[in-house]
Amino acid sequence: MLTGFLGSGKTTLLNRILEDAKKHNRKPAILLNEVGDANVEGVLIDNDIPMSEMLGGCICCTSRGDLGLELVQLAREHEPDVIWIESTGVAQPLEIMDGVTEASLYAKLELKNVVTVVDGRLLLDKMRIGSGKTFKLMKEQIRVANVLVLNKIDLVAESDLSELQEALADWNPYARIVTTTRSELDTALLYAEYQSNQSEQMPRVSAHEHHHAHHHSAHDHVNVVTYFFKGTVHSEAFEQLLRGLPDEVYRAKGIVAFQDTASLFLFQYAYREIDFLRITPQKQVNNVAVFIGEGFSESELIERLEKIDTTAS
């Protein structure tokens, strides 16, 4: 997912990513979000690249429910290697991450990298003021990233650049920081994490999403774990797992097939409240659990999931 405040350089970076994809024979797809009713930036993208447009609202709020369906449609119709989501500059990133994970209920898509583009000059100005909605949103966009692109460094003094880098490292000590002018960088940096972890060749989405069993991150910060069950699980064991989740897991959801009942269940977890709903899907769905949070151990959670999955199967 490409996020960052208005005018930070997201579209410029996206076009560099697409140019690089051609050179390396990657097959990307794009999901563009605009608050207005017209996609102005979409005309800059080649016609041969599959693209879905979500206009007239921010995908973190009014259009969030459609986001998963758009991603599934892109994945099924075009079978891309990667789907890049460029969110509008006023979007709340955690809400988008929540919306993206809806897609995993219907297709094997997994959230990968969150790339935040930061306007260095604008951030410096907001830091001088020290308050305001824009400053707060920029900090939230910075906090969720695992790659931070500090852009427009040609517009700040060297001493100010050091101050900006220190601020980014303070707000998000886990992210890789890349300094750029006009969003110019080696795009391999944006793929490095999931390529190093990749164990099978399947398509992926960036907000990134990846057709991959589950994701072992190089860090435990703001993260999303998507786990596709191999078999059924015992209902009591699964409920016990949910009740034992650390406070750092904010949300969880998915579809599970229990060993002790023939029905499928949709589950939701938020603010330590758990809800199960018996469902009869009219189309194929995945048995999957998605967890969103900050600072929890992905490896420990996956180990617990594998334990009840293996036991049940």
CATH code of the domain containing 33: 3.40.50.300
Is 173 in the same domain as 305?
A: no
Domain tally, the chain? 2
Residues 40 and 153 in one domain: yes
Q: Where are the alpha helices (DSSP H) in the chain?
A: 10-23, 64-78, 93-100, 120-129, 133-143, 158-171, 188-197, 235-243, 298-312
Provide the angle, in degrees to the nearest 10, between the axes of the packed helices 158-171 and 133-143.
70
- The alpha carbon of residue 226 and the mean position of all alpha carbons in its chain are separated, in whole angstroms, by 11
Q: Model-level pTM?
A: 0.67
The residue out of 194, 229, 263 marking a domain boundary is 194
CA proximity to 249, closest of 237, 241, 258: 241
Examine the domain organization and report whether 152 and 255 are in the same domain.
Answer: no
Residues 182 and 224 placed together within one structural domain of the fold:
no
Range of the domain at 284: 219-312
- Residue 248 confidence (pLDDT): 83
Residue 211 lies in a domain: no
Q: Rounded to the nearest 5°, which phi and psi values hold at 287?
A: -85, 105
Q: What is the DSSP letter of 209?
A: B
Answer whether residue 99 is part of any domain.
yes
Question: In the listed set 179, 194, 209, which residue is the last one of a domain according to the structure?
Answer: 194
Q: Are residues 28 and 164 in the same domain?
A: yes
Per-residue pLDDT of the chain (313 residues; tens, 9 = 90+): 899 987 898 888 998 999 998 888 889 999 887 543 333 344 445 667 888 876 444 444 444 457 888 888 898 999 999 999 888 777 777 777 877 787 888 888 888 889 999 999 999 999 999 888 889 889 999 998 989 999 999 999 999 999 999 999 999 998 999 999 999 999 988 876 544 444 333 334 554 333 333 333 333 445 678 899 998 999 999 999 999 999 888 788 889 999 988 889 999 887 678 989 998 887 788 899 988 877 788 899 999 999 999 654 4
Residue 121, domain member (yes or no): yes
φ, ψ dihedrals at 223, nearest 5°: -145, 160
Q: Is residue 29 part of a domain?
A: yes
What does the pLDDT read at residue 196? Answer: 41
Say whether 125 sits in a helix, a strand or coil: helix
Residue that is written with structure tokens 């886990």 in the block: 174
Report if residue 214 sits inside a domain. Answer: no
CATH number at residue 284: 3.30.1220.10
3-class state of residue 84 by DSSP: strand
Query: Is residue 125 domain-shared with residue 274, that is, in the same domain?
Result: no
Residue 286 lies in a domain: yes
